[in-house]
Structure 1
Amino acid sequence: MECFRWLWAKPEVCCPFGAAFSRILAEVKAAEDAPMRETPVFLNVYDVAASVHWINSLFANHYSPLKLGGAFHVAVQIGNEEWSYGYRQRGTGVYRMMPRSLPHYRESVELIPTKLSEQEIARLYYFLAQQWPGCEYNLLQRNCCHFASEVSLLLGAGDLPEWTFRFADLGCAAAQAIGLLETSAVISGI
């Protein structure tokens, strides 16, 4: 072990591979010792419109431990930026804004902080903008709740509370049951 003594030595001690290698080892050691930076993540919940506020208050009261659901718009807040998804004829349906800046803000639900770096978060936004075109928005099958759920999972922030998208899921199931929506499930090889 004596021949590897320089690995644990202070960076200013000369190592057999040169000063540049010593600096790299010092940077790696500093990075390992530094606490991992986490970015807070929240799910910001909005009433879809003022007219449904009373319905949402009945089924998803702020202070109730049991929330059944409601008609919500949701967005994921990552640090000081909020991401959401909506309909557009062309281009992406993904957009960014200041947190809690939309009308009819209801509440924020704290999620697990993300360990992604700022660069990884920026790449994730670009990826999602490509994967979520605005013309594919569907009120029941591909909406802001589905987008927020995917964002949250990709950030490592966990699942969204079920009550945020329960009514949309129930509406989708009911519409499919009575034949209003076509399912796009394709089973290959049958």
Structure 2
Amino acid sequence: MTEVVLHIYDVTNSGSEKTNNTILQINRFFKDGIGLGGIFHSAIQVYGDEEWSYGFCEQGTGVFSCPSSKNPMYTYREKIVLGKTDCTIFMVNQILRDLSREWPGHSYDLLSKNCNHFCDVLCDVLGVPKLPGKVKPFIWECIY
């Protein structure tokens, strides 16, 4: 069994300091203040030092990896241990290959197929709890 870790980032990649600061304020109020969630990027680490997530691209898979807690697109916030998986490293590699085919980058949708949805699916396949509600965008909680 190996640990499955959720890495959470504030989405502060707008190119506008004012917008980035507003997002940080929203996250502090909604997630930290009243526990409703916020505007976050999420990624899953299982086996090794890489984390796996999903994002938009015009061609190919939207599934990507980067060193854990080091995604250069966002501001790192925290990690949450979700549990342990019985999957072997070989099984995890196969799961990631399968998901890479099922999650093309052009299918990305901010509200219905984003990094949080991908992480929920990966967690489900790994047999650990899905993302806690406080991590999911508050708008997602209202819609679904």
TM score, norm. by length of structure 1:
0.66
Partner of 1:40: 3
Equivalent residues in 2 for 1:23-102, closer than 5 Å: 38-49=1-12, 50-51=20-21, 52-61=23-32, 67-79=35-47, 80-102=49-71
Equivalent residues in 2 for 1:105-120, closer than 5 Å: 105-120=76-91
Equivalent residues in 2 for 1:136-175, closer than 5 Å: 136-170=107-141, 173=143
Percent identical across equivalent pairs? 35
For residue 169 of structure 1, report the CA deviation from its aligned partner.
1.2
**RMSD between aligned alpha carbons?**
1.7
Is this contact kept in 1: 2:39–2:137, CA < 8 A?
no
Superposed structure 1 runs of 4+ greater than 6 Å apart: none
For residue 166 of structure 1, report the CA deviation from its aligned partner.
4.0
Aligned mates of 1:154, 1:92 — CA distance in 2? 19
Determine which structure has the larger strand proportion and give its number: 2
Q: What 5-or-longer segments of structure 1 have no aligned partner? A: 1-37, 175-190
How many residues are treated as equivalent by the alignment?
133
For residue 159 of structure 1, report the CA deviation from its aligned partner.
1.8
Distance 1:71 1:166, change over 3 A: closer
Q: Please state whether the residue corresponding to 1:90 is helix, strand or coil.
A: coil
For residue 168 of structure 1, report the CA deviation from its aligned partner.
4.0
Question: Residue type matched to 2:81 in 1?
Answer: E
For residue 75 of structure 1, report the CA deviation from its aligned partner.
0.6
For residue 60 of structure 1, report the CA deviation from its aligned partner.
1.4
Q: Please state whether the residue corresponding to 2:8 is helix, strand or coil.
A: strand
Question: Relative CO higher for 1 or 2, CA cutoff 8 Å, sep ≥ 6?
Answer: 2
TM score, norm. by length of structure 2:
0.85
Question: Residue type matched to 2:135 in 1?
Answer: T
Aligned mates of 1:168, 1:125 — CA distance in 2? 28
Q: Please state whether the residue corresponding to 2:5 is helix, strand or coil.
A: strand
